Chain A
Amino acid sequence: MDRRNSVEIQAISVEDAVRLALEQLGRQRDEVEIEILAEPTSGAQEEEEALVRVTVRGQASQPSRIGGQRARPVRSPGGEQQPIAVPDETTQVAITVTTELLAAMGFQVRVVPQAVTDDETDGPPTIGVNVLGNDLGMLIGRRGDHLSQLQYLVNLLVTRRIGHWTRVSVDVEGYKRRREESLTGLAGRVARQVARSGRAVQLEPMPANERRIVHLVLRDDPEVSTESSGEGDLRRVTILPKAVVSRES
């Protein structure tokens, strides 16, 4: 995979987020532009994490896959590369269904196509939509549980409307994308630690879609392997060192 030029990272402090982002990009602080997208706050109800976007200077983000199609990079007059989203029919239906369902729930939202990570599984390609609006925390829920249920319903409704099985990834305010970024960073860091120490590390319990990200990120890692254990809400990933040939014999 190509070296990425831009990442968004969520962490408990801006400084942590920036450090993780630099680690992922393999860059120094003076080589990048840092945008603080959210400052950490510890309000009465929920703690907000810091969110930063770190972009390597002089390079625009790489074009990503949007709406089930390869986004076409175009040269804008400014000379910057920008992916343009051309939503296909399935994406349009997904946007319509998501907007209608949320309107029926009393949420005024804007639904836009969102790039999805190519997950290389069988079946139809996953298309992605992202829901934007105010005060949408309840659509995410604890550990993204409400969002998973919302996504499940959208999938059923879209599949019935277009008449064949499809997979739609529904995100709210980029929540899943941020989680994916921070889990990718976490998996990499813990993997290196496990490789160095030779000791397995168990991650916090996570929902299935998040465990899957960790497994995928480390699938081809030469030094570690991953496995899940535990039941239900307590299911968690363990990162283990791969058996090494004993040097003593």
Chain B
Amino acid sequence: MEQLQHLVEYMASGLVDRPEEVHVDSRRRGPAVSIHLRVAEDELGRVIGKGGRIAKAMRTMVGVVAARQGLRANLEIEG
């Protein structure tokens, strides 16, 4: 779960102009992990992308890591 949080932090920080405003927290219930990403409101587009393309790519990476650990992860994004 720490790995998942770290991964989301790494990706989001590399995509936005103000990485200091990136906040990630996560909650776990059994095999289900819920990850919450918050970025500055005017930078939401940088982590969501046109048609949600960037969010989808981040979710794919999160899914790969979760699957390796026998977990299911859900990434929520807000500004």
Contacts and interface: CB of A to CB of B under 8 A. Distances in A.
Contacts of B68: 106, 138
A146 to B, nearest CB: 6
Interface stretch (B33-41, B55-63, B71-79): B55-63
B28 to A, nearest CB: 17
Given A104-B7, A105-B7, A149 B15 contact: no
Contacts of A145: 60
Interface residues of B, number: 18
Interface centre among B15, B54, B57, B58 (most CB of A within 10 A): B57
Nearest to A100: B10
Given A105-B65, A106-B3, A138-B68, A149 B11 contact: no
A37 interface: no
Given A104-B6, A104-B10, A160-B15, A153 B64 contact: no
Interface residues of A, number: 19
Nearest to A153: B57
Contacts, number: 51
A149 B54 CA distance: 9
A208 interface: no
Contacts of A153: 11, 54, 57-58, 61
B52 interface: no
A94 B26 CA distance: 29
A235 B8 CA distance: 32
Interface string B21-55: 00000000000000000000000000000000110
Interface of B: 3, 6-7, 10-11, 14-15, 53-54, 56-58, 60-61, 64-65, 67-68
Interface of A: 97, 100-101, 104-106, 138-139, 141, 145-146, 149-150, 152-153, 156-157, 160-161
